[in-house]
Amino acid sequence: MFDMTHPYFAKDYLKPSKVKPEEDDQLVPNVDSFFDLLPEPKHKIKHARCSLVGLSKHERTLRALKKLRLRKEQMEMKEK
């Protein structure tokens, strides 16, 4: 089933580092110098995506605990 003599199963086995493929500078051919006269981008940095952020996990937990405490108090009041 498994070849226990394979290097993967050795105690001193180290995972090889990932090899990044070489980046190709020219992804689209520049036919008739089409891309030469394009304007420079106004913003050179990438802006963070705009997203709707809700409550943090801590805040959600606190709200849930508060809700449970109120329910417990209501149940105790009914029992009395």
Q: Whose structure tokens read 């105690």?
A: 11
pLDDT tens readout for residues 61-76: 999 999 999 999 999 9
Its pTM surpasses 0.75: no
- Residue 5 phi/psi, 5-degree rounding, is -90, 0
Is 48 within 8 Å of 41 (Cβ atoms)?
no
Q: What does the alpha-carbon distance between residue 17 and residue 6 come to, in Å, rounded to a whole number?
A: 19
pLDDT tens readout for residues 8-53: 888 899 888 887 777 666 677 778 888 788 887 777 666 555 556 7
